[in-house]
Structure 1
């Protein structure tokens, strides 16, 4: 098992011990927290400031106009700009988001990527319109290989790499990624993610290496060195890219694993747990840091000057640039995607601003500098940092993207040596949780059945951030050169003279000696993967049924579990003779076969090496389960992982009673004066919708405006015009799992007022929408008709009404929708989910 080094958290010579902290209570966003800058170390950065380079920065800066400077701070997305936009504005950088491709073509070739890089670069150095010849740089989310490009090598996601616990291998992986990225003319990678995951319900859990900072800190340094090269020898050379440590800070420690939520750790915990990846990466020479969506004690990190400037830049000594995350600046109170001086003043150097918000943001930022709202010195500091990184990376001196050392060498995309590194990563990331009677390794000469919907599914085994953002909508043909897990099995068994059959549903033609069932989570990314608890296939145990069916026929079962986090699978473990946590292995599924099977002569090929870097839960409710917790009681502890010779520790009688969270007692506030994160208010008319971003919004079928109920603008007035169907609702960018509220007899409760008399035939529906066009609808017309005019009433609707009419509470993306085709004016306020209130609901079913 992996054990903590006694010196781990004090590896920096000037990191104080917690008992030395002299804390001062400082109010941040109205919350008193201990804030002490002495907690943070002054880091010994390997890339020092160079006097000649600094003079060059000053010389360039002295020639720049305000417009040119602000353009360096704007990072639009390839779907939202043209080559002519680049020529006119001279953006300092641009990006492709997950699922964005040159020409909007998922199957764009490496040549297409290179052409776009070359065209935008040439436009950026063309000074005929904007007067600037500063080269632009392209940033991409290459988070487990160059995962946006068809045919690239896809490595196991970070959770699997954490189980491998091999920093040298990690550096090789990063170097391969850098090479494949450079082939397409791209300069900059948004990696590594150094989140320390403390709640496994988080939809980005698989982007973290571990629940503990031990591995994260060391891996961060390895990834940075692999991407950028070593600071003392091959730093940012011809096959290296700029790296980004993300997301600063505490994204893995939000309450209830809520993506983009609130972290309430003490400052000492923030450093000891969540800050260690930055110590590792910055001391390896990382040149950029990405701000996080999450809050710390209620203050959004994109606007937290203490963290971005005082801690990161001034105390820790980071002299590169801080880039925002996808419109993260727009989440700061008082800001929009188009207007946010607060984040610049807090220390953000580059706005990541996809969509067409980039142009008003550019214009508003210029105006704010002219007015003095943003100091000129802050702009000059931001641009100096951007220029410093570009000069260190040789962007001014390197050939254009199409003419760089490895650009266009398409044979390097998915090259055989790269795939071998990925297969090694797959082999070393597998964790053997159960091996009853030492059934593994298997003899490849046997008769093998392979079942389960993950067996021959490269998209499923790769997870999110695989060609598309969510990793969905892909076929095996979208991964040329890759191998599914089954393909690896088939190759090994056929070569040894055994017999193998693939049957996803487990229906075989010849009874096998053993069945391998490959199953697990469907792909997801970010908040879409947030879940309420860790019960695998909650409410629909189809994979368990498959395991039991095979077991009932006397067939030994080997389970290969694909997942982005540890999950409660006690029943699946009981139904398995052996159980392998395969995580999300990526494009090289054949790596699994190299461990599960012996060689043809019966000798071991590769033994299991992987050890849990996330504790495995005993209960579905053990989402917060981290080593060194005072009440640490896992099914399998951090560092667990069997080898073939080890004695099995799991029996077949694990508790299968599904724990329900009957202790949900707090209300979930959805709207109180404003829509609460992650919900956003929108209106729609005739199938067209728009977000509510001002006090009055209007479409043909609906008008919405703010009004005062108890305090200023704490309610909204809706006027349905009768001109078609109008809707107002609370929507999320991600699907939300609300099953725990339904299971705890919750209602959706809200205040409503009828503002005018209405026709007795007017219809008003309350709806909940879920993905794939499912929805639940409740007619509230009669309640409204019976209400007196201009009198507020509290209404509550049993959530089971929505379930009975078609809503899937596991996949809600619009939680409160009022709709009507008729003329009627209503006001609403104070929307919440209230547990244990269904018996008293105004509307039941």
Structure 2
């Protein structure tokens, strides 16, 4: 439909019909519902009538094509203007084929794999009738106590930005062709803004930071997703500079819409409009509605502040009808861009065969590959890994048999489809004896005794442990980032046997690994790997796949060290190695300053040598970029992937600058003894940063380059 057609629809709508388009409801409020679906978040008494549901504009959380087609068909029977519903849901790391959690996707450092995951997720979700996914979440995270770190791709704004753009491209493809490409889904970047900086890592908590910090580190990934074409943006639950994001006119109109030039649909998170009252910046639901509409929030998710108050606010002149018209037009444009006016079912009725792609062998194979590439080898003493498949393996621990390996926000995934570690190991190893536990939180003495008995007869112990999937994700903040205490008694008992211990760790956040790391000969960070978990773990342990993941988020030494992240500022009294005996420097008395495992850390079964760091010039300018080359050689005897990372430090700035900042990375595959020269190009724009007055510019002067563990060079911006 052309723009004139949308304008004609808008002109014909009553105020009541317009307000209805701004309301999003769950499937349970609609005729034709076949299942209620899983609904998360606080459910208020909404008082929704059939008449209201017949005016609402979108649906949250439908799960199947049959349900969505039934709801749409019934809805259109009563729609005076034939405006179809649009169906949205959280497809965060897969629909039915579940991929590793996004933090693990970040650990792949592979933007092509991120795009592939999003593409497959879109194919399955659209085959089931969904038209919008609330993904990607690109919040920068530095506090693993916050359960939603599992939804992010880590602590670095550049890595997050690259991943954000890849997710959007994978979901949407060419955003101008969504109407005709029914296998693509509209992306919704979230949560705008700075939600990942919740104080103390506590969900829904206050965020407080300087404007310069907000612009420098937290906003870039959102902007990258928007530049990649994301059709929607979701508001955050938190305040920004003391004002709730959902009612923050400066944040949404000035920053999001003007500075970032976002002209798509802005949707609140669940209940966030009404929660402005709880924040204390609105006295009642009417004021919350006014603030949100002025901030250009187009869709209110699962509360009724707009529904109950906008007509009166417009009638008494408090709110201009033009603000309502802007919001409705953006919603109509989204529906039009998705082709819903021409086909409200996006091909589901004409091509039901599309649903055969869901959980297909091809998609499972992709999930297995991505899961293996996301795993990070943190320790491998005496080269205990990879394991010879003829060795007798004792597979023990609470994650040995379970299919609870999908992770949070896999709400449409079925654990019955997941491959357990037990099944994955049976498929690749000759002799595997298994002893599990019924719970990650409570392990009985009898269960530990059985593990010990099995382990005593083995050549090597594979210990599968970690968190249950419901211990991370939304509203799952924890104060102490350790494993459940019951697991440490088990670890101690197995360590005493004296056999090599290979630990496979399942978790949704960085953890304090003390009590585990020193009692493991090898430690594999597996995250929550998804549907093909067990096969991917076995691929790594057997050496079928050489581990190549790198940490996208630092692992703290202990909880009290949080936040700890790689791109920190210098202090006036840094604790340098040369001043090891100096007391009056910035340090802890009881632990190191450095995290247990740094951002970017990850071992391989082979080794790589970095040499010949060369610069095309010793200067760079606005008109003259700089090419930086390094030669990487696989010095081991097996093929492997290596992520080459380029860091830069601005040695003198108008404000204190980070010790180093990631500026480029590239993942390469090298055969044994093979070398490859990797070349990065840096421009003057890469050296810009936000000054105290938020001027975004660079300073002439010296910069330091770091590649690998020891190669450094300097250049000058002139």
How far apart are 1:529 and its partner, in Å?
1.5
CA distance in 2, matches of 1:54, 1:414: 38
Q: Does 1:121 align with 2:72?
A: yes
Q: CA RMSD in A?
A: 2.3
Q: Does 1:382 align with 2:315?
A: no
| Contact residue 425 and residue 432 of structure 2 kept, 8 A | no
How far apart are 1:158 and its partner, in Å?
0.7
How far apart are 1:408 and its partner, in Å?
5.5
CA distance in 2, matches of 1:176, 1:337: 40
Alignment match of 1:638 (pick from 592, 599, 604) = 599
Unpaired runs of at least 5, structure 1 = 1-51, 103-112, 147-151, 472-477, 599-603, 648-845
Q: 1:236 to 1:520 in 2, by over 3 A?
A: farther
| Contact residue 185 and residue 407 of structure 1 kept, 8 A | no
Task: Please name the residue that 1:607 is paired with.
Answer: 546
CA distance in 1, matches of 2:176, 2:354: 27
CA distance in 2, matches of 1:352, 1:316: 23
Q: 1:267 to 1:210 in 2, by over 3 A?
A: same
CA distance in 2, matches of 1:486, 1:201: 30
| Contact residue 9 and residue 81 of structure 2 kept, 8 A | no
How far apart are 1:210 and its partner, in Å?
0.8
CA distance in 1, matches of 2:99, 2:84: 31
Tell which has more relative contact order, 1 or 2 (C-alpha 8 A, sep 6+). Answer: 2
| Contact residue 22 and residue 306 of structure 2 kept, 8 A | no
| Contact residue 90 and residue 132 of structure 1 kept, 8 A | no
Name which one, 1 or 2, has greater alpha-carbon Rg: 1
Q: How does 1:470-549 map to 2 (within 5 A)?
A: 478-493=414-429, 497-504=430-437, 505=447, 506-509=451-454, 511-524=457-470, 526-537=473-484, 540=485, 542-549=486-493
CA distance in 1, matches of 2:519, 2:121: 39
| Contact residue 400 and residue 434 of structure 2 kept, 8 A | no
**More off after superposition, 501-510 vs 372-381:** 501-510
TM-score normalised per structure 1? 0.62
| Contact residue 485 and residue 593 of structure 1 kept, 8 A | yes
| Contact residue 90 and residue 123 of structure 1 kept, 8 A | no
Q: Does 1:167 align with 2:107?
A: no
| Contact residue 566 and residue 616 of structure 1 kept, 8 A | yes
TM-score normalised per structure 2? 0.73
Q: How does 1:386-425 map to 2 (within 5 A)?
A: 386-398=331-343, 400=345, 403-404=348-349, 407=352, 409-425=354-370
Alignment match of 1:271 (pick from 215, 222, 228) = 215
Cα deviations across residues 451-480 of structure 1 (Å, max 9, x unaligned)? 111122222x22222337xx9xxxxxx434
Q: Does 1:449 align with 2:394?
A: yes
Task: Please name the residue that 2:40 is paired with.
Answer: none
CA distance in 1, matches of 2:97, 2:223: 29
How far apart are 1:307 and its partner, in Å?
0.8
Cα deviations across residues 594-628 of structure 1 (Å, max 9, x unaligned)? 43333xxxxx4210110011111112212201111
CA distance in 1, matches of 2:283, 2:464: 47
Q: Does 1:628 align with 2:604?
A: no
Unpaired runs of at least 5, structure 2 = 33-48, 438-446, 571-592, 609-718
Task: Please name the residue that 2:619 is paired with.
Answer: none
**More off after superposition, 632-641 vs 154-163:** 632-641
Q: How does 1:17-32 map to 2 (within 5 A)?
A: none
Task: Please name the residue that 1:589 is paired with.
Answer: 533
| Contact residue 444 and residue 597 of structure 1 kept, 8 A | no
Alignment match of 2:4 (pick from 55, 66, 74) = 55
How far apart are 1:634 and its partner, in Å?
1.3
Q: 1:236 to 1:195 in 2, by over 3 A?
A: farther
How far apart are 1:405 and its partner, in Å?
6.1
Q: 1:618 to 1:236 in 2, by over 3 A?
A: farther
**3-state DSSP of counterpart to 1:597:** helix
How far apart are 1:535 and its partner, in Å?
3.2
| Contact residue 273 and residue 300 of structure 2 kept, 8 A | yes
Q: How does 1:792-831 map to 2 (within 5 A)?
A: none
Q: Does 1:93 align with 2:58?
A: yes
**3-state DSSP of counterpart to 2:505:** strand
How far apart are 1:70 and its partner, in Å?
0.7
CA distance in 1, matches of 2:393, 2:51: 57
Cα deviations across residues 356-389 of structure 1 (Å, max 9, x unaligned)? x54x751322222222222101000001111111
Task: Please name the residue that 1:253 is paired with.
Answer: 197
CA distance in 1, matches of 2:433, 2:396: 11
| Contact residue 126 and residue 132 of structure 1 kept, 8 A | no
